[in-house]
Amino acid sequence: MTSPQARRQRGPTVRRRSLPAVRPDKLERRLRKHLDALGPAPGAELLHVLMLPDLERADRIGEYWSYPQSRTFAELLIDCVEVRTLRAVLVGMLRGSEGGR
């Protein structure tokens, strides 16, 4: 066991918490609900940005981040870059909904 002083010198510790398991069909329904709430124009822009090459995507995310009103959208894009599975699922869902709109 380390002393509080030793812990302060090393910095704060990060506790990892795992998310509860979610069935894929339930997760897809939740994602679909949120994508539908975005509407067609933001959904199309999300797909467009996710399909850009890495450097162009980073520039576009930076543009969104620079405006407070689009910062939440930028955070979603950042999450999609960090979690490749999320990006792949969203691209698949958005491509699928393109034909239906």
- Counting every residue written for the chain, the total comes to 101
pLDDT reading at 101 higher than 70? no
pTM exceeds cut of 0.85: no
Would you say 72 and 82 are in contact if contact means Cβ atoms under 8 Å apart? no
4-13 long-range CB contacts below 8 Å, 24 or more apart? Answer: none
The pLDDT tens digits for 63-94 are 999 999 999 999 999 988 998 888 998 999 89
**What pLDDT score was predicted for residue 9?**
60
Where are the domains positioned within the chain? 23-100
> Helices 40-51 and 84-100: crossing angle, nearest 10°?
130
Mean pLDDT of 22-33: 82
